[in-house]
Structure 1
Amino acid sequence: MGNSLTGKIPSSFGGLESLQRLRLDNNKIEGFIPRQLCKLQNLGELILLNNNLFGSIPNCIGNLNPLQTLYLSHNKLTSSIPLNLWSLKNLIFLDLSLNSLVGSLSPNMTKLVVIVDMNLSRNQITGNISSVIGTFESLSYLNLSMNSFQEDIPQSFGQLKGLKKLDLSYNNLSGAIPKSLDALPYLNYLNLSFNDFSEEIPFGGPFANFTRKSFLGNEALCGNPIFGVPPCTSSSSRGIKVKQLLLKYIVPVIASFIIFTSLVIMLRRHPRCNIHILGLPITLPSVDYRMISYHDLCCGTNNFCESNLLGTGGFGSVYKGTLSDGTIVAVKVLNLQLEGAFKSFDVECMVLRAIRHRNLVKVISTCSNMEFRALVLQYMSNGSLEKWLYSHNYCLNLVQRVSIMVDVALALDYLHNGQSELVVHCDLKPNNILLDEHMVAHVGDFGIVKILVKNKDVTQTKTLGTIGYIAPVPYKMEVVDDGLLRIEDGRDVTFLQTILSSIFELGLRCSSEELPDQRLDIKDVVAKVNKIKLALLGNRNRGI
């Protein structure tokens, strides 16, 4: 493990039939997972995480009956999960996260009696969450976040009596949160944020200890005010149901159509516009649209008082605001006197409401009339990366910096590969990377993006942006932030130089070539920066 091994996993395992543990994690191994691995009938631990493996998970993996640990995360696997994987009766730990796995979970999954940890997060799995998972009696940790699961949470989850942590965030789940979950005695972490759940949030059992962080981005939820949602009212009357239907579905469709039509008209009037909109993903109606009036924004920002000003940009100013329900937001008000402001508003609104990712700034709503246009955005309490890099009052340690690199790389990977069309940010810089209360990075400011059709010849067009990024130099340690060196003083100098050299080398490989095709693919960047982070964390854990 962690030996920088390269090449492929050999297809011959002669003489290794008695092997019980196979660990090749944190290397640079690439290629397919060979089917010949299935000949190791005594294998109890298979750990191949954080490599460059691609292709499919072998169907025969279900034949490894003694297998207890299967870690394939942080690779480039693209298949569906083989059905017979769920026949591994002795499986205790399963981690397939951070791949590009597709397909759905079969309703014919086999009950896994002893499984404790199961992580399928950050893939592209679709369909319903199988109710069979609710029969995994020993399950303690379940993470299905950042996929495309649909429909509701199975009622059978109420049978997971040993469950401690459940993360279903950033999916397309809907319906009510099962009341059966309030019977889970050990549940101490719950994240259902950024789905489409509705109706009342349970308040019994473990729910009494949860906060609004567990339910962010589900605009149709109601319940106890401590969850940051409005109180529930009777919805028995037909009028209220019609109103809810209008707010949730009809209004977003109409608003999306108006915005899209305006953009098309504008592009036709300005043929030199550098945005390609062929095949633009029209997925906006799937996102709930919260109606916020100009009056609400005036009240929430104290009439856009200067004391609430967070910063200014190329097309306007950003203010901190508090909505009537207590939600703190960032209000980006455009200066409509500036050339390009209208186009910037329409483009940013359309793009950000059509995409959803943990590391992208979320659009809560918009407010628009003839004389005023504003985006209501997710508030980032720790400000921009610019502040943390270039202010004498703030400084990030190396772990924080690398974690931010990982967050930004994941956001770009989603923009480049997570949509039917490739979204190019065009102005990625520290001032457009915002940090939330947990120092998680979110990419923002999509006013000058390009949307490019994949598998088409793309002609070079003029790109607006900020001049100055990036200026690579050949001297490694001479360009390191003095503040970082002060924070890391006392650490292993050789190890620190190795980590910093890896970071600089990665940055140079991403920016040194003139032709984009000659630069590293963002998926490779994600894998490499994750490997750097794991190495850094491992070093910290050893106290070096």
Structure 2
Amino acid sequence: MLPKSIGNLSSLQTFYAEGCNLKGHLPKEIGNLRNLSSMRLEDNNFIGIVPPTISSLKKLQHLSLGANRISGHFPIVLCELPNLSMLNLSQNQMWGSIASCLGDMTSLREIYLGPNNFTASIPSKIGNLKDAILLDLSWNQISDNIPSTLGGLHKLIQLSLAHNKIEGSIPQTFGKLVDLEALDLSYNKISSVIPKSLEELKQLDSFNVSFNRLIWTVVAPSIIIVIGITSAIIFVLMRRRGKTINAEDKWLPEVAPQRVSYYELQRATQGFDENNLLGSGSFDSVYKGILADGVIVAVKVFNVQLEGTFQTFDRECEILRNLHHRNLTKIISSCCNLDFKALVLEYMSNGSLDKLLYSRDYCLTIMQRLNIMISVAAALEYLHHDYSLPVIHCDMKPSNVLLDNDIVGRLTDFATIGYIAPGEFFYLTYNNVMD
């Protein structure tokens, strides 16, 4: 636990204690550190509320309490810190509404408030944060409309409101966010159309409005099919003739991922909690996890009790270590000891193709289906022709195709037993909702 005697260090200017497994409450004596300019206590086990005495830290510029178990309402005492430029309360257990006084903290440049359990609406006064460059309110329970005042954050570079319950339309004022590079509004209940004003965002290179209720311009299905099939034919012909398409469509330089510890994975998955279970198979179970740096991953844990598991793990490691293609699952890290083996993979937010094909809440468009088929075809061609030794997948089915934020297909699971002909896979993908 953080001792009360920490308050005796009144001349302290920076205080970093990240990932130290500290627990208990933040002591009120922390308010005695009146010369503190930066405090980073993320990735610990602090509980309870932020002590009111923290309002005494008038010189504080950077405050990071992310990845703890801090609870309670938004601490309005933070609104009394006149020089705070970075506030990180992400990955905690805070609830209630976001205090409107946040909009009075005009020195703020970076705000991280998700994931938490904040509810109600986004305070319109946040539009007063004229120097803000990053605003992350994702993975909460925020509802109501997006306030048009957010269009006044002219210096904003990144804005994420994803995974909430936001309704209404995208404000026309977003067209004034001329420095915006990334906008994520996915997984909400946003309706109406995408405003034409967004055409003014010349710096925007990441735009995600997946899983909303937006109205799209209707194009005749026959035209879409012709365009899609023609694109697929051109794609295959160009590859067959040996022409280069795009460097990022091929593979990246080989990088040996660093291993992570069992403790890190246990913490990331909250003790491999069943609530984080994404799926399970004959040899493994896959969990959703959040690493200490906030990166969301998929942790594939192998069942070491089964015969052949060690060979399966070694084979999959060897294959994934050497294969690099934008339409294949990306390995981030691994964990291996005598009684535990796991792979850390890139997390695919839209799950498997199998789930979307049979979902009652979401229907893939014709163009999305064609793009997925092209993505899988590109991955298979790489496995068969562009790698030094041909690799046969042997388990080609929709549940082994994962979909990223942009509904781009990523082929996964190279080591399971079973087989489905590629032709049957493509038939399922294209014809599932055509009946």
Q: TM-score, structure 2 length as denominator? A: 0.56
**Distance in structure 2 (CA, Å) of the matches to 1:114 and 1:142:** 13
**Distance in structure 1 (CA, Å) of the matches to 2:144 and 2:266:** 28
**Distance in structure 2 (CA, Å) of the matches to 1:507 and 1:30:** 27
2:427 is the counterpart of 1:427: no
Aligned match of 1:215: 209
- Contact 1:163-1:186 within 8 A present in 2 as well: yes
- Alignment-mate amino acid for residue 117 of structure 1: E
2:82 is the counterpart of 1:89: yes
Q: How far does residue 79 in structure 1 lie from its aligned partner after superposition?
A: 2.3
Q: How far does residue 121 in structure 1 lie from its aligned partner after superposition?
A: 1.5
**Distance in structure 2 (CA, Å) of the matches to 1:139 and 1:9:** 32
Aligned match of 2:318: 483
**Distance in structure 1 (CA, Å) of the matches to 2:71 and 2:81:** 21
Aligned match of 1:469: 303
Residue from 191, 203, 217 that aligns with 1:230 = 217
Residue from 185, 198, 203 that aligns with 2:178 = 185
Change (3 A) 1:434 1:55: closer
Aligned match of 1:18: 11
**Distance in structure 2 (CA, Å) of the matches to 1:431 and 1:408:** 19
**Distance in structure 2 (CA, Å) of the matches to 1:324 and 1:82:** 56
Change (3 A) 1:103 1:152: same
- Contact 2:277-2:287 within 8 A present in 1 as well: no
**Distance in structure 2 (CA, Å) of the matches to 1:505 and 1:62:** 49
C-alpha RMSD of matched pairs (Å) = 4.5
Q: Which runs of 5 or more residues in structure 2 are unaligned?
A: 229-253, 289-294, 323-332, 343-435
**Distance in structure 2 (CA, Å) of the matches to 1:324 and 1:168:** 36
Aligned match of 1:242: none
Change (3 A) 1:505 1:148: farther
Change (3 A) 1:92 1:196: same
- Contact 2:272-2:287 within 8 A present in 1 as well: no
- Contact 2:279-2:287 within 8 A present in 1 as well: no
Count of residues in correspondence between the two structures: 292
**Distance in structure 2 (CA, Å) of the matches to 1:213 and 1:176:** 15
Aligned match of 1:173: 166
Residue from 143, 148, 153 that aligns with 2:146 = 153
Cα deviation code 1:478-534 (max 9, x no counterpart): x866628977xxxxxxxxxxx977x6489489xxxxxxxxxxxxxxxxxxxxxxxxx
- Alignment-mate amino acid for residue 216 of structure 1: S
Residue from 10, 28, 40 that aligns with 1:35 = 28
Q: How far does residue 39 in structure 1 lie from its aligned partner after superposition?
A: 1.2
**Distance in structure 1 (CA, Å) of the matches to 2:60 and 2:164:** 30
Within-5 A mapping of 1:360-379: none
**Distance in structure 2 (CA, Å) of the matches to 1:230 and 1:166:** 25
Aligned match of 2:237: none
Aligned match of 2:62: 69
Q: Which runs of 5 or more residues in structure 1 are unaligned?
A: 1-7, 223-228, 233-295, 300-321, 327-394, 417-422, 445-465, 488-498, 510-544
Change (3 A) 1:212 1:32: closer
- Alignment-mate amino acid for residue 230 of structure 1: T
Q: How far does residue 202 in structure 1 lie from its aligned partner after superposition?
A: 1.6
Change (3 A) 1:206 1:76: farther
**Distance in structure 1 (CA, Å) of the matches to 2:92 and 2:281:** 24
- Alignment-mate amino acid for residue 214 of structure 1: N
Q: How far does residue 424 in structure 1 lie from its aligned partner after superposition?
A: 6.8
Within-5 A mapping of 1:355-394: none
- Contact 2:7-2:33 within 8 A present in 1 as well: no
Change (3 A) 1:206 1:32: farther
Aligned match of 2:37: 44
**Distance in structure 1 (CA, Å) of the matches to 2:52 and 2:18:** 21
Aligned match of 2:257: 398
Q: How far does residue 154 in structure 1 lie from its aligned partner after superposition?
A: 1.0
**Distance in structure 1 (CA, Å) of the matches to 2:225 and 2:274:** 30
**Distance in structure 2 (CA, Å) of the matches to 1:124 and 1:323:** 43
- Contact 1:102-1:124 within 8 A present in 2 as well: yes
**Distance in structure 2 (CA, Å) of the matches to 1:72 and 1:147:** 17
Secondary structure of 1:125's match? strand
Change (3 A) 1:415 1:123: farther
**Distance in structure 1 (CA, Å) of the matches to 2:271 and 2:205:** 30
Cα deviation code 1:163-184 (max 9, x no counterpart): 1110111111010111011011
Q: How far does residue 213 in structure 1 lie from its aligned partner after superposition?
A: 4.8
Q: How far does residue 103 in structure 1 lie from its aligned partner after superposition?
A: 1.6
Secondary structure of 2:179's match? coil
Q: How far does residue 123 in structure 1 lie from its aligned partner after superposition?
A: 1.3
Q: TM-score, structure 1 length as denominator? A: 0.46
Q: How far does residue 401 in structure 1 lie from its aligned partner after superposition?
A: 8.6
**Distance in structure 2 (CA, Å) of the matches to 1:324 and 1:406:** 46
Q: How far does residue 34 in structure 1 lie from its aligned partner after superposition?
A: 1.0
Q: How far does residue 398 in structure 1 lie from its aligned partner after superposition?
A: 2.7
- Alignment-mate amino acid for residue 469 of structure 1: N
Change (3 A) 1:11 1:486: same
Aligned match of 1:58: 51
Secondary structure of 1:153's match? coil
- Contact 1:230-1:325 within 8 A present in 2 as well: no
Secondary structure of 1:169's match? coil
Q: How far does residue 471 in structure 1 lie from its aligned partner after superposition?
A: 2.8
Cα deviation code 1:98-141 (max 9, x no counterpart): 12221211234451122111111111111111112110111001
Aligned match of 2:2: 9
Q: How far does residue 157 in structure 1 lie from its aligned partner after superposition?
A: 0.5
- Contact 1:165-1:187 within 8 A present in 2 as well: yes
- Alignment-mate amino acid for residue 22 of structure 2: I
